[in-house]
Amino acid sequence: MARVINRKLKYENQEIGNCSLSYHLEKVSDFERVSLFKKGIDKTVNESTVFCDLGCGTGIFSIYAARKAKKVYAVEIDDNIYKVAKENIEKSGLSEKISLLKKDASTIELPGKVDVVFCEMLSIWMIEGPQIVVMNHAVKELLKPNGTIIPGKVINLAELCNFDYVFDNIQMKAPIAQFAGIKRPRIMTESNVFYVISFQEVNPREINHTVEFNALTSGVINSVRLSSIVKITDGINFYSTDSLMPLTIVPLKNELYVTEGQKINLTANYTHTERLDKVCFEIK
């Protein structure tokens, strides 16, 4: 099964599956991802906490939180995954603590506001996934004043680089995740913070932002490598795995020959929930 097909999201039609069960299995099998988010729950949840898991998937984090929390709301719109979560919650023996709701996480209404909102709909740079839309709704409508959001912040990083898109004299320019076995780009600038997203506040969906880079070597820049640091809670950070938010190489709108020490401006123009291959990255 091709990883890209397996990961393909379908948020434009909320009534069909967002991710296959195989991808959910891949995600819960990612020890680094799961263990770090569990640590975030451990740090923020106690016996008086009302916890809301937006996009709970098969229920792994809802069940984990319910072992400590007073009450858990688990929200999942995908019909097939909802059924799996229901079965897992029933088997957990924690059904009396967990309310499983088949609702849209971006519009869900709850009986009251909650202490902790948990949402892991992360994607590279938050571009394709609905994390921004869902968290904006949570901050405005679901979270108590001074409540906690998990994750709390995402720091988007960029490096300008050169990537060879030619294979056997055939050129294919498209975004590519830097999974194990994929050839590495030639990095040509320092890694810069491009944009910081704090989920404790409402974030814009439209991004048009420019950051200056310094060329560390001479040559042709034709791509940007995207990565993110996810600050789950204070002192608990997630970077990247093959399963979640892999480093991703994206072709630029234009190529530019640069010399060592030259200043280059990278501009990104996109809308959150847009397909990555539709995003405009341009350098001058």
pLDDT by 10-residue block (mean), the chain, 284 residues = 46 53 88 97 98 97 98 96 97 97 97 97 94 97 97 98 93 92 94 98 97 98 98 96 94 98 98 94 98
Q: Which residues make beta-bridge pairs with 124?
A: none
β-strand pairing of 248-258 with 280-283: unpaired
Predicted pLDDT of residue 15: 40
CA angle 131, 173, 124 (to 5 degrees): 15
The helix (H) or strand (E) run that includes residue 100 is strand 98-101
Task: Please report the domains of the chain, with CATH numbers, ordered by start residue.
Answer: 3-150 (3.40.50.150), 154-283 (2.70.160.11)
Q: How many CA atoms lie within 13 A of 97 on its CB side?
A: 24
pLDDT reported for residue 18: 62
Neighbours of 218 (CB within 10 A): 12
| pLDDT at res. 224 | 98
- pLDDT for res 78: 94
Phi then psi for 43, rounded to 5 degrees?
Answer: -75, -20
**What is the per-residue pLDDT for 123?**
94
CA atoms of 164 and 172, how far apart (whole Å)? 9
Q: What is the pTM of this model?
A: 0.91
Q: What is the maximum span of the chain, computed from C-alpha positions, in angstroms?
A: 64
pLDDT of residue 11: 45
Token pair belonging to 172: 């294919």
